[in-house]
Chains A and B, each alone.
Chain A
Amino acid sequence: MRRPSPDPRGSGGPGVLTWCCAAVCLLVLSVALLGPLLASGSPTEQVGPPLAAPGAGHPLGTDVLGRDVAARVLHGGWVVLVLAVGATTLATLLGAGGGLWLGLAAEHGGEWVMRAVDVLAVFPPLLLMLLLATGAPDSDAAVLVAVGLAATPFSLRVVRAATRRVAATGYVVTARARGDGWPAVVRHDVLPNVAGTVLADAGIRFVAAVHLTATAGFLGLGRGAPSANWGRMIRENLPGAPLNPLPVLVPAALLAAFAVAVNLLADRLAEHLADPDITRSGA
């Protein structure tokens, strides 16, 4: 059959848009990761009247409890990004491990495992996060595990399909026939062939993970109230937006810019590594 869907943006090197996205990503990452080092004031101390306009000492004004918005912005990003990276790593490890095993070794039991995976994939990710947060309140680890587990079924399907294609080419049979053990076969024959798929898939999972960890902060899940978090800042300051919109707009703009840029980059990466298995269904 003919290859459907020619690349809508034409081929060739990375375009201007891709470079802009990379720059935006780097900028937001540096604000989030270097912010706690750069911030001068405390993010939890009350320094002025609530919702004051920007002024001396407070370049972005104060939030609904009179805390310095600039300090909170600088402190509030890394938890969102670190949790998203952690969750993506967890999902990729579980998905790649399970996918390789199901694609290579599992014969009869594998079908049943896939049925279970299909059922889990139906489970709404946010619902999983809310459930684990009920069981383990005020825990960032619960958010990480929930986001990771929610993404795992999708990773697993993609890696399994890629592994089965590699297994069907005959490398694996040849390697097994000459007496290689499974670890050697996986390392030398399978992994190099599925690595691109795993990487592109991890990009897509990361987009979803950023959405979910930011939403967790917004819904008040994870580590509790006084600590700064971009998602939670939006929630806390939304009622005060008519007085000082900056405590809502600055974290919203940072999150939006990062999420949009990462989404475009992940899309380009998936296209570049062009793999028919990678669906956007989990993103």
Chain B
Amino acid sequence: MTWGPFLLRRVVAFVPSLAALSVLVFGATELLPGDAVSAVAGPSATEAERAAVRERLGLDRDPVTRYLEWAGGALRGDLGTGYTGGRSVTELIADRLPNSLLLAGLALAVALPASVALGLLAGARAGRRADRAVSTGVLLVAGLPEFVLAALLLWLLAARTGLLPQVSLVPLGGTPLDAPEILVLPVLTLAVSGVAVGTRLVRSASAEVAASPWVEAARLRGITGPRLAARHVLPGALAPAAQALGLMTGALVGGAVVVETVFGYPGIGLELQQAVAHRDIPLVQGIALVLCAVTLATVLLADVAARALDPRRGSPR
């Protein structure tokens, strides 16, 4: 299959997936008993006040109509207005999403080379001492929940020693890049948990390639060490590793919510956590939809990368 049909098929599959996830997002927040009315009107509101709020928010109409309106608005780039503060959801997301993407991008820039190096080191000599050390170490770190890791790093590097700021205070009207020291701890936390996951995936892909006949052949020709790893194991291992890393974005999204909450970093994850706490349903739905789209897009990108990196591409199997 050439690139054209491949890309077309993937992009076409993206649309129904996002539509299905949008139904899920809307349904989970709308149909469950936690009614937005009591969140907005307050616990002591009278029945008449509650009815007025319900009508103002348009909650007296049936869910299917409201879903279609919401989805239609989303297609036009209008995700409604948040309950608290009356801010436009789209503007808020446009304001915060770049900060989160910066955080995730920096974490990936640290984690990807480290995972490839460690995973290759372990996988190319599976079963040897280096593999045992890397695999056990990675398993230990992967066992730590992100918020525990973040809290420990915060306590060690910020609260005790004062080396780094505890809270990510972004200068008014600026971006996190204006105060780069606030990025260190959030990026470090995300990168460490990313390395733990990534190394394991690269290791298992490399171990599989290292046991293949063509690597055996290269070894018999006298190629060893880093040259064997970089020239003969790595090319075959990158494609499956890229695909597996794409599937890990769900964990990265969760990690971003946690890390932004710990450090008070002004990203979309912190906003989502606060919106859940305030039961600001339009904001929760809008952010969840954007995060679903980002996740699906990452999986798509990883598939494309896996195909581009696959050395067998184009040759008949």
Within 8 Å by CB of B143, from A207, A234, A252, lies A207
Give min CB distance, A124 to chain B, whole Å: 4
CB-based contact B154/A238 at 8 Å: yes
Chain A residues closer than 8 Å to B126, beta-carbon distance: 5-6, 8
A127 at the binding interface (Cβ < 8 Å): yes
CB-based contact B34/A241 at 8 Å: no
CB-based contact A219/B261 at 8 Å: yes
* A contact patch SS: helix
Given contacts A135-B32, A245-B155, A264-B139, contact A123 B147 (CB under 8 A): no
Q: CA–CA, A117 to B239, complex, Å?
A: 23
* B contact patch SS: helix
CB-based contact A255/B148 at 8 Å: yes
Q: Looking at chain B, what size class is its interface with the partner chain?
A: 35 or more
CB-based contact B143/A264 at 8 Å: yes
Chain A residues closer than 8 Å to B183, beta-carbon distance: none
Report which residue of A207, A231, A248 has the largest number of chain B beta carbons within 10 angstroms of its beta carbon: A248
Q: Looking at chain A, what size class is its interface with the partner chain?
A: 35 or more
A98 at the binding interface (Cβ < 8 Å): no
CB-based contact A219/B155 at 8 Å: no
Q: What 8 additional pairs, Cβ within 8 angstroms, besides A5-B204, A122-B250, A245-B159? A: A8-B122, A124-B250, A126-B254, A134-B275, A134-B279, A135-B32, A211-B145, A215-B258
Identify 24 residue pairs between A and B in the complex whose beta-carbon atoms are under 8 Å apart, listed by A's number: A4-B212, A5-B126, A6-B126, A9-B132, A116-B20, A120-B24, A122-B21, A122-B295, A122-B296, A130-B272, A135-B28, A135-B32, A135-B33, A135-B34, A137-B279, A210-B145, A215-B145, A215-B254, A215-B258, A241-B155, A245-B159, A248-B155, A256-B143, A259-B145
Q: List residues of A whose CB falls within 8 A of some B CB.
A: 2-10, 17, 116, 119-128, 130-137, 142, 207, 210-211, 214-215, 218-221, 231, 234-235, 238, 241-242, 245, 248-249, 252, 255-256, 259-264, 267, 280-281, 283
